[in-house]
Amino acid sequence: MLYYLFEYLDKQLNVPGAGVFQYITFRAFAAIITSLGIAAIWGKAVIYRLQRLQIGEEIRDLGLEGQMAKKGTPTMGGFIILLSLIIPTILFAKITNVYIVLLLISAIWLGAVGFADDYIKVFKKNKDGLSGKFKIVGQIGLGIIVGGTMYFNDYVKVRFFNADQTFHDSKSLLTTVPFLKDNQFDYNMLLPDFIPDQYVWIVYILVVIFIITAVSNGANITDGLDGLAAGTSVIIGIALAILAYVSGNKVISQYLNVMFIPYSGELAIFCAAFVGACIGFLWYNTYPAQVFMGDTGSLMLGGVIATLAIVIRKEMLIPVLCGIFLVENLSVIIQVAYFKYTKKKYGEGRRIFLMSPLHHHFQKKNYHEAKIVTRFFIVGIILAVLSLVTLKLR
């Protein structure tokens, strides 16, 4: 909203200095500072309110050191992240930009799904929370919205370079394959020859649904130690901010010979607000946590990250960039599958990990919670750097 105000002040009234709002970098810095401020100020008030309402986390005794000491810690802290993300985005981004609108919808949509889960757990005293099938329905719904917008909206297009280094517009469903020189992949290639290309949108939306579901669930599973999900999201958010800025800048994208996505540079402002909101939440969520984000935050974080990657055509980079989420997801899948297999074959279930998700395995090995989180952060930083290196390493 402020962008349009300062645009009027600059172009119509010629107010000195008003033109600074035209720069994405300035608005991104303003967004991150604002989101940090909101999280710091609003966070304390939210925690106090949650404590007064006695909205505490129900802790199941899993035999983990220090676990029961967390009983009664307020949950639903995801509201801190949500508000600190939405307000700066509305203030500093171009809210008519389809990508910004899509990301705001993604945040609110999965935030609402997560809130429903937390509400049932806390107020209805049902430890199972929202039924898994309803969570899936919510994720599928968002996948249809994101996939449909990316395919049918005329505002969405990409530009790539011909051999003579001239731009060529494309409405086709192109994406980026990391580590390859000719790194453009068209989703039309997934269709069999006997199916017309006009039906590729069905395949594309199914892929988008899978990505959003996988990443949001991965973030949800990762949210098991103080600061782990929020800190990991900060690292991923910074990498996505850089990728979004590069993809939306005609000069830089041409220099790096990467896909140019018109208007996507505006997403750097959303990413800045996202990073600021997560850092602000970490102020209260680092060990020992004063508040938990709950599903209100964790489902939203994963869904936003997935949507960001899809919008800037970097969804094939998710296994690297979101490697922490991927490994946490896989540890649960492997543990459950192996347990069922051995129970059927030997009559008793056996386990590969001492406990899943993976962070609980290290807790069982008597690693301190803070050490586990810090080492996961280090791995996350390495993966983020590797993701950024793909801009040149092809």
Residue-wise pLDDT tens digits, 257-292: 888 888 899 999 999 999 999 999 999 999 888 888
Query: Residues marked as binding?
Result: 220, 295
Please report, rounded to a whole number, the percentage of residues in the chain having pLDDT higher than 70. Answer: 92
Is the link from the previous residue into 357 a cis peptide, with omega within 30 of 0?
Answer: yes
Residue 4 has pLDDT above 60, yes or no: yes
Residue-wise pLDDT tens digits, 33-91: 999 999 988 888 888 888 777 665 555 555 565 555 567 688 888 999 999 999 999 99
Residue 174: helix, strand or coil by DSSP?
Answer: strand
Residue 170, pLDDT score:
56
**Contact yes or no for 267/249 (Cβ under 8 A):** no
Rounded Cα gap, residues 129 and 118, in angstroms: 7
Q: State whether the Cα torsion 165-162-254-159 is positive or negative.
A: positive
Query: Residues marked as binding for Mg(2+)?
Result: 220, 295
Residue-wise pLDDT tens digits, 92-113: 999 999 999 999 999 999 999 9
Q: Among 100, 80, 82, 81, which residue's Cα sits nearest to residue 90?
A: 100
Residue 172, pLDDT score:
61
Residue 245, pLDDT score:
95
Please report, rounded to a whole number, the percentage of residues in the chain having pLDDT higher than 90. Answer: 56
Segment 342-365 mean pLDDT: 90
Question: Model pTM?
Answer: 0.92
Residue 288, pLDDT score:
87
394: tokens are 């092809």
> Regarding predicted confidence, which is higher, 124 or 245?
245
Residue 125 has pLDDT above 80, yes or no: no
Confidence of residue 121 (pLDDT cuts 50, 70, 90): confident
Alpha helical stretches, state H, the chain: 2-11, 24-52, 78-92, 98-122, 132-152, 200-222, 228-248, 250-256, 267-285, 294-311, 318-321, 323-346, 358-364, 369-389
**Contact yes or no for 223/298 (Cβ under 8 A):** yes
Q: Which residues contact 355 (CB under 8 A, 6 or more apart)?
A: 62, 64, 361, 363, 364
Residue 118 has pLDDT above 90, yes or no: no
